[in-house]
Amino acid sequence: MSQKFAAPKGMNDLLPPQIEIWQVLERTARELFGTWGYSEIRTPIVEDTALFVRSVGEVTDIVSKEMYTFDDKGGRSITMRPENTAPAVRAYIEHGFAQQPVTRWYYLGPMFRYERMKTGRYRQFYQLGAEAYGSADASQDVENIALAWHYLKAIGVQHVSLHLNTLGDSSDRPKYLEALKAHFAPHVGTFSEIAKETFERNTMRLLDTKDEALRSLVESAPSLSEFVGEAAKKHFDEVKALLTALGIPFVIDPKLVRGLDYYTRTTFEFIYEPPAGDNALGTAGTVCGGGRYDNLVHELGGPEKPAVGFAMGLDRLVLLMEALGKRPERRPVLFVATMEGELKVHAVKLVTDLRAQGLSVDFDPRGGKIKRQVERAAAVKARHFFVYGQAEHEARAFKIKNMDLPDGDPAKEVTVPLDALAAWLLNAAQAAPVTP
């Protein structure tokens, strides 16, 4: 008996034609990030559970509720990576890169979080991230932010704005937490159960709660900026000045605390702020989040090495590109209709030769009536079409039809000799590139 299956909930098959957008995003990333001096790393999909507990933080949503954790056959607790900053730091220390002055890495791959699903929020999703280790200077923060900014520009998404904040140094944090707790404490009795738990476990996260009942209380909460020490303040001023010098606009967002424990000083997000009526991302508007994490390398057993990085949500960028109609069309430059017998062998050989020369050429392996093969050529949006028949074989020349021109157009049909075919097609393909 046969049985049908569906992909696991919240995990998507990435298929044609949408995969073309993924490929553009990936190709652009590799080119741009490479140019900016970031090298690719690929770490395992799973890590020791303790790595995430230690780095992301025990009381964060990710660690307390969202991780895919299991015991492997050897009884070790393993977790499917919910993010890639901690695995990157683990690798950076493990393989001795922490001995080098400056290291810049990027990664691209699937992450896993057991989340409540909605538009732009999945359980397997893809992040493109960039991490820079070794410098505490503001120019390193700004380089990292500028890379994200230029990437978003390169892929052509619009209406994305940069939100910026500073969390101060970790030594500034206890005083602020005290003030925050004092602010919320008198009202905890009126909180929802979830808000109560957040108050108890991770008070700072109340600042970016979606709970409307808490809105005015959050508005009047003390601002972290009042508690930021002189050194972190100066650093933040430098970051802002440099961004301004680079012409990168930003808004200061004092409530931007981010969900991971390891951040210090600069934090930032790129948020999609859609024009009225556009709902491409629903409420999942953050396309990129990042910041400085100056203590993490040391906390994971390495030397004192400041670092800064970001992670971009590729699923959300694909949704945006799709909404903008930015899906590249991959069109074969030629479709060859085949006859049966020996002629089919010649036709398949020609198709294979042309493909080997880098030309996108298609045919229908089922063969059959020419009319049906023409329909197939139209379905795959081939630009040109010809029949490999006996007469063509003997004349060593093909009557090429331009599928984009109407019947009766004088340029609809041209005859091209076999010897000139590849060059002719190459010219036609270059005149209409397959990617934007």
By CB under 6 A, name the binding residues for ligand AMP: 83, 113, 115, 120-122, 125, 127, 259, 286-289, 311, 313, 315-316
Instruction: Give residues with Cβ within 8 angstroms of 379, minimum separation 6.
Output: none
Judge contact between 163 and 251, C-beta under 8 A: yes
Measured at CB, which residue is nearest to ligand AMP? 313
Residue among 133 and 386 whose Cβ is closer to ligand AMP = 133
Residue among 156 and 174 whose Cβ is closer to ligand AMP = 156
Residue among 127 and 202 whose Cβ is closer to ligand AMP = 127
To the nearest whole angstrom, how small is the minimum distance from the Cβ of residue 288 to ligand AMP? Answer: 5
Residue among 315 and 362 whose Cβ is closer to ligand AMP = 315
To the nearest whole angstrom, how small is the minimum distance from the Cβ of residue 144 to ligand AMP? Answer: 14
Q: How far apart are CA 200 and CA 242, in angstroms?
A: 38
To the nearest whole angstrom, how small is the minimum distance from the Cβ of residue 188 to ligand AMP? Answer: 26
> Residue 13 to residues 9, 129, 345: CA-CA distances in angstroms?
11, 22, 36
**Radius of gyration of the chain from Cα atoms?**
28
Burial grade of 9 (CB within 10 A; 0-12, 13-18, 19 or more): exposed
To the nearest whole angstrom, how small is the minimum distance from the Cβ of residue 157 to ligand AMP? Answer: 12
Q: How far apart are CA 211 and CA 89, in angstroms?
A: 34
274 upstream amide cis, omega within 30 of 0: no
To the nearest whole angstrom, how small is the minimum distance from the Cβ of residue 83 to ligand AMP? Answer: 5
Helix (H) or strand (E) holding 278: none
Q: How far apart are CA 19 and CA 37, in angstroms?
A: 27
Residue with tokens 């991971």: 260
Encoded tokens for 57: 């933080």
To the nearest whole angstrom, how small is the minimum distance from the Cβ of residue 135 to ligand AMP? Answer: 22
Q: Which of 286, 17, 323, 348 is nearest to 148 (CA)?
A: 286
Residue among 206 and 422 whose Cβ is closer to ligand AMP = 206
To the nearest whole angstrom, how small is the minimum distance from the Cβ of residue 53 to ligand AMP? Answer: 16
Residue among 270 and 363 whose Cβ is closer to ligand AMP = 270
Residue among 282 and 358 whose Cβ is closer to ligand AMP = 282
Judge contact between 72 and 49, C-beta under 8 A: no
